[in-house]
Chains A and B, each alone.
Chain A
Amino acid sequence: MFAYYLQLGLRSLRRSPMLTALMVMAVGFGVAASMITWSVFRAVSGDPIPGKSAQLYTVLIDNRGPQYNDNGEPPEALTYTDATALVAAGKAAHQTLFYNVAPSVLPEGNQSLPFIANGYATNADFFGMFDVPFEYGGGWHASDDAGRAAVAVISHELNQQLFGGADSVGREITMDRHTYRIVGVAAHWDPKPRFFDLFSGNAFGDPVQLYLPFARAVDVQMDTAGRNNCGSNADFGVGRDAWLHGECVWVPMWVELPDPAAAKGYREFLTNYAAEQQRAGRFHWAPNVRLRDVNDWLDHMRVVPPESRISLMVALGFFVICLVNTIGLLLAKFMRRAAEIGVRRALGAPRLEIYHQFLVEAGTVGLAGGVLGLLLTALGMFGVGLLFEPEIARLAHLDLSLVATTLLVAIVATVLAAFYPTWRAARVQPAWQLKSN
């Protein structure tokens, strides 16, 4: 019966081509607008490190006090002093700190020109905590951090550019006139949003190209290429050393705490640390610390661009209007066939069969709308690239799950929209229809 109804449905669609085209277009445009905006939204609002997002926390300490802080919130990163002290304390299962660097890279031996690469000055724990995959070698060891070793990890992409993709572990790379020994080549890695680097606004930035030990980078006076926030506090000194040991924040810090008990313990430790600073006379206020996990941090930093949210809302509203439109048109289409329904009912078809027939017909409209929607979505993906900046636009892509969702949403939405018209169709009184003809 299903196949027969499908055939009937297709025939009926051909009978009033204008009305059908109108419905298919409404469903197609509605679903395409929703899917395009949804694909961007899901990319910007996704969990960048599923499975671990509840175990990774960023550490924040109020070093400015109630007068200068941001409505009671501590600044969004740590000072060099606090970050290095907390990492050295080692109270969490793993802890890392970093700052953004942009050294000039001179390719080994050959004659090509230097270029700027972006990277992180960080410690050995970084790679394990953030699940950085490796193609060759691995991260450096804690002893390299302690020994301030001149070692580096480079990305797959940088390895392609410098060494043609060969195993470059053990070879050398020159950054800002200093040589570093490569200990690992990371495989392609680009979590979106890049949750740990929100302080410098790199949630959707270009993938990182290299990593080197934090202590080493500080030794060679590699300056931060990220944000440096001194707040409104007047007493920070002059010169690099005063800045380094002063109260400007520029070092994000993350800890890995496997369970809530560990998180509770760490929060206590942090509070004690701040209390100690108060006793030592550095802070003139009660401890004000935060421990925010990945999702909390993404929320707090409002990482989803408002444009993405607004577009999604508008597109969904658009889709609802398209569906209201479809309900009206289906109603017109079905009621036009009241006579046909009357005959079927008079010949003994129960209401359920009428339901079947018309819902299947609506399903075919939905399918046709879905196919059109898919074409428009593909077109729209291309358009997003023209309309929005590459950082956001490249997040939108048509994958298998989006194709399936598009078709499914189109069919389900149309069938749902068809319930009311079908109900009306099933209520047609056979006697009345037969009489008037």
Chain B
Amino acid sequence: MQIKPILAAMRHHKAGTVLIALQIALTLAIVCNALFIIQQRTARVSRPSGVEETDLFVIRSDWADKSDPRRIDAQMQADLIALRQLGSVQEASSTNSFPLRGTGWDNFIKLQPDQVKMTTDAAIFFADERTLAALGTRLVAGRNFTAGEIGAQQPRDALHSAQVIISKALAERLFPQGSALGKTIYVSMGRTPSTVIGITDTLQAHMTGSWANPYAYNAVLIPARLLNDYTYYLVRARPGQLAAAMRDAPKALYAQSRMRIINAKDGVMSFAQVRRRAYERDVGMAILMGIISVVLLAITAAGIVGLTSFWVGQRRKQIGVRRALGATRGDILGHFLTENLLIGIGGVLIGAVLAVGINLWMVAQFEMARLSLAYVVAGVVALLLLGQGAVLAPALRASRVSPVEATRSV
């Protein structure tokens, strides 16, 4: 295949060449970044929560009378007994928050009481001896709380944290060398140390914002019932009885006391709903970028088909002449495919630079990760193939131009 005649032909329609190259370049730049965003978001969404999610649901109960803490405490214990007695319920526990909730209580964690800056940040989950069973999260070291260790406290009281259970990620962050078990840490910002008595397997925090990415798996379990204006109940249904348990549980709670509010809209949520809500924005963003990428590739392909068709139409006579002088159909087909490949290569070279440039700008603006070059390479290959595919139909039409065309209309 000779390149020179193709380059000569391209010089004759510079504008079209430049436009196609530009379109390929811009498409590559945007599609690379869009695909990268999709990958980042889906990676976030598919992170494990460390919770056995099927058959788990949460109930939020607000106290209608905001009565005194002792009554709230008695009510919470009565509620838990009532929930555990339900036939459809396997386990129930009270807490202030849970993985993927979005907002909640997080504390700075320190290794020394007079440390100025925190060592790390962690979610504070008030728990009892049944919380891990309700969540379906295993301990990898140490022991669970015993019923006797579970206290009760109000939000502004000193944290009931002489003994704590911490998540694996937090343990590794605090004590990179050796086990955290039996060590003391400071979780309450005060001067009272907490002894680590257990370490859970992977357990996600409630924080889902991007600021909390470094702390996403840091959690501290405090052995107490939090006597606040509201509480959450983590309820594990017996296998396959989620729907029944979600129906029975609020009824059982109302039967215990009517002086509570369980919001009709989101007072009872399955963990699947919790997860959907936590990642709604990420999933939405991924879908949006997906739609844009597909439409963009389609439009670019259509644009290449349109312009090449026009060129073929314009050059029918020249094609006829070449055919008359002995060029085979394959030669003509090859001409257009090579021409497109050359334009495509020019486009993707500019596009790759643009893609990296846009990504660097986004890294600076939105704290995004650096674009991996694999995406650029994949994008380059995809766009070159797209170009070849798009040019195929007009090129085939060109190859069918009869040598007789050379003699017409002169």
A interface residues with partner B (beta carbon < 8 Å)? 18-19, 22, 25-26, 29, 33, 67-68, 102-104, 106, 113-116, 176-177, 201, 223, 225, 230, 232-234, 236, 238-240, 242-243, 305-307, 309-311, 314-315, 317-318, 320-322, 324-325, 327-329, 331-333, 335-336, 387-389, 392, 420, 424, 436-437
Among the listed B22, B62, B289, which residue makes an inter-chain contact with A104, where contact means beta carbons less than 8 Å apart?
B62
Instruction: Assess whether A29 is in contact with B19, with CB atoms less than 8 Å apart.
Output: no
B46 within 8 Å of A (CB atoms)? no
Report, nearest first, the 4 A-B pairs whose CB atoms are least far apart: A332-B310, A387-B284, A325-B303, A328-B19
Main secondary structure of the interface of B (DSSP, over half): helix
B:129-164 near A, CB below 8 Å:
154-158
Main secondary structure of the interface of A (DSSP, over half): helix
Instruction: Assess whether A176 is in contact with B66, with CB atoms less than 8 Å apart.
Output: yes
Among the listed B22, B66, B287, B409, which residue makes an inter-chain contact with A324, where contact means beta carbons less than 8 Å apart?
B22
Given contacts A29-B295, A232-B108, A318-B292, 20 further A-B contacts (CB under 8 A): A19-B306, A67-B116, A68-B116, A114-B259, A116-B261, A176-B66, A225-B229, A230-B189, A234-B114, A239-B156, A305-B281, A307-B285, A314-B34, A321-B26, A321-B27, A321-B300, A328-B307, A329-B306, A332-B307, A388-B284
Instruction: Report 12 cross-chain contacts, Cβ distance below 8 Å, ordered by A residue.
Output: A25-B299, A26-B303, A177-B66, A234-B190, A314-B34, A321-B27, A324-B26, A328-B307, A329-B306, A331-B15, A333-B310, A420-B15
Among the listed A18, A104, A233, A315, which residue makes an inter-chain contact with B64, where contact means beta carbons less than 8 Å apart?
A104
B21 closest partner in A (C-beta): A324
Q: Provide the bound-state CA to CA distance between A314 and B291, in Å.
A: 12
Determine how close the nearest CB of chain B comes to the CB of A379; give it in whole angstroms: 12
B interface residues with partner A (beta carbon < 8 Å)? 15-16, 19-20, 22-23, 26-27, 29-30, 33-34, 37, 62-66, 103, 108, 113-114, 116-118, 154-158, 189-191, 210, 228-229, 258-259, 261, 263, 277, 280-281, 283-285, 287-289, 292, 295-296, 299-300, 302-303, 306-307, 309-310, 313-314, 362, 365-367, 409
Determine how close the nearest CB of chain B comes to the CB of A191; give it in whole angstroms: 22
Known: A104-B64, A106-B64, A240-B156. A335 touches B310 (CB 8 A): yes
Among the listed A18, A230, A305, A329, which residue makes an inter-chain contact with B303, where contact means beta carbons less than 8 Å apart?
A329
Known: A314-B34, A324-B26. A243 touches B287 (CB 8 A): no
B156 closest partner in A (C-beta): A243
Q: Provide the bound-state CA to CA distance between A397 and B245, in Å.
A: 39
Instruction: Assess whether B288 is in contact with A311, with CB atoms less than 8 Å apart.
Output: yes
Instruction: Assess whether A22 is in contact with B306, with CB atoms less than 8 Å apart.
Output: yes
A421 closest partner in B (C-beta): B15
Q: Provide the bound-state CA to CA distance between A234 and B299, in Å.
A: 60
Instruction: Assess whether A317 is in contact with B30, with CB atoms less than 8 Å apart.
Output: yes
Among the listed B63, B229, B283, B310, which residue makes an inter-chain contact with A336, where contact means beta carbons less than 8 Å apart?
B310
Instruction: Assess whether B30 is in contact with A318, with CB atoms less than 8 Å apart.
Output: yes
Q: Provide the bound-state CA to CA distance between A387 and B276, in Å.
A: 11
